[in-house]
Amino acid sequence: MAATAAAAAAAAAGVVGSASHHSRILQFSSSSRRRQLCISCTAVSPSPIPASLAAGDRGVYNFAAGPATLPESVILKAQSELYNYRGSGMSIMEMSHRGKEFDAAIKKAESDLRRLLSISDDFAVLFLQGGATTQFAAVPLNLCKPDDPADYIITGSWSDKAYKEAQKFCKPNVVWSGKSEKYTKIPSFDAIRQNPDAKYLHICGNETIHGVEYKDYPEPKNKNSILVADMSSNFCSKPVDVSKFGLIYAGAQKNVGPSGVTIVIVRRDLIGDPQPITPVMLDYKIHADNASLYNTPPCFAVYICALVFEDLLDQGGLQAVEEKNAKKAGILYEAIERSGGFYVCPVDKSVKSLMNVPFTLQNSDLEKKFIAEAAKEGMIQLKGHRSVGGVRASIYNAMPLAGVEKLVAFMKDFQARHP
């Protein structure tokens, strides 16, 4: 009878389950009281997984620039744990950020990220909020005084936005800009005229909109300066020598998680003396001293990052990941180059991104038709950024080779039908 009553209560609450499953406490709130309903059939089975999804095929390949596709294994693992996280009786989205379960999750995320990038204890690893855009202000606020100079290399829209935000908090100096060449190049490092007093040299490791990526990184010529990089769209896509940087920041929603969490890797000796106007939520030292738990972090996003880092390690680490990314990008660029000008990628060959591949067709009407027909064939989110137009295929870590191969086959077929 008790089991029957529990099942009836569960059905009334919209909960489906089996009496043989582990129990879970569901809490119901009202303005005046909370009542608890203990259901013995609680480890609710998730919605049935279609056979095609279980096999790794959701019917589409998502070429979005971000939020972007995540590894199938990560999504399925998160689905299996969503209702009752590892026997806790709670979802990861419900539990306290100061509880033992989430504490273990965020510590694992940091530990695995340190393994992936060989990050020493000289650096703090922070899981923050506000996106990389918030870091455009946090960087100068933490590393500069109002009259301090800082150098910026402008290779696209995102490094330009970072420079403009820094103007509010320090004296930034543009040491090179690719605007006149429509952001299709990265400068020779010897040609960069750095300010000898600059506190840092800021770059964007991969320009998501324009498809320009650093293959190696400049060194500040001033020995007292440091290298700062926005790596939002190529973070964990290849090995990086973190010791060559003073600070790296990245929004997670391209390569390592969903939107909502921003990762900052900063040398510990650089933090602790922010400008007096620095909001508490932008003070790196406060977050480092509180292990990213000064306030409630984006718990679910951090948890997904932990699953992604584990997946990257299981793949063999970032060297193996880079090789896969190079292969995917290689066949796509080759298709563009062999199209006889039907498809055109304007980016200089030496700095073409492995993550974001922009290209144009002969006119905007043909581009619209290409994007629409591709979507019907299960290849979505191929529209270029609103500021530049055209087509853009974002092929981050989680994009399978099969997705790129399907796109290339479609490109060849589309060209044949539109001579």
Considering the candidates 151, 158, 176, 328, report the single residue annotated as catalytic: 158
| Cβ neighbours of 282 (radius 10 Å) | 20
Tally of structural domains, the chain: 3
Q: What is the DSSP string of 125-168?
A: EEEESSHHHHHHHHHHHHH--TT-EEEEEE-SHHHHHHHHHHTT
Give residue-wise pLDDT tens across range 194-214: 999 999 999 999 999 999 999
Range with the lowest mean pLDDT among 54-58, 91-95, 301-305, 413-417?
Answer: 54-58
In a domain, 156, yes or no: yes
| Degrees to nearest 5, angle at CA 303 with 308 and 263 | 75
Residue 134, domain CATH:
3.40.640.10
pTM score, whole prediction? 0.88
Residues 244 and 339 in one domain: no
187-197 average pLDDT score: 90
Evaluate whether 112 touches 229 at the Cβ level (below 8 Å).
no
In a domain, 50, yes or no: no
Residues 112 and 237 in one domain: yes
Residues 207 and 234 in one domain: yes
Q: Does 77 participate in catalysis according to the annotation? A: no
Considering the candidates 171, 199, 238, 254, report the single residue annotated as catalytic: 254
Give residue-wise pLDDT tens across range 75-116: 999 999 999 999 999 999 999 999 999 999 999 999 999 999
pLDDT of residue 222: 84
Q: 318-337 and 401-417 helices cross at what angle (nearest 10)?
A: 0
Residues 19 and 157 in one domain: no
In a domain, 85, yes or no: no
Considering the candidates 230, 238, 283, 311, report the single residue annotated as catalytic: 230
- Residue 214 and residue 226: Cα distance in Å, rounded? 17
Residues 412 and 333 in one domain: yes
Residues 261 and 192 in one domain: yes
Q: Does 230 participate in catalysis according to the annotation? A: yes
Does residue 275 surpass a pLDDT of 80? yes
Which residue range is the domain that position 164 belongs to? Answer: 100-314
Evaluate whether 27 touches 34 at the Cβ level (below 8 Å).
yes
Residues 130 and 214 in one domain: yes
Does residue 217 surpass a pLDDT of 90? yes
Give phi and psi for 149, each to the nearest 5. -85, 155
368-389 average pLDDT score: 96
Going through 9-55 in order, the beta strands assigned E by DSSP cover 24-29, 34-39
Q: What is the mean pLDDT of the chain?
A: 89
Q: Does 158 participate in catalysis according to the annotation? A: yes
Residues 195 and 230 in one domain: yes
Residues 333 and 307 in one domain: no
235-252 average pLDDT score: 98
| Cβ neighbours of 103 (radius 10 Å) | 14
- Residue 329 and residue 311: Cα distance in Å, rounded? 21
pLDDT of residue 190: 86
Residue 362, domain CATH:
3.90.1150.10
Give residue-wise pLDDT tens across range 18-65: 333 444 444 444 333 333 333 333 333 444 444 444 434 689 999 999
Evaluate whether 153 touches 203 at the Cβ level (below 8 Å).
yes
pLDDT of residue 191: 81
Range with the lowest mean pLDDT among 186-190, 284-288, 312-316?
Answer: 186-190
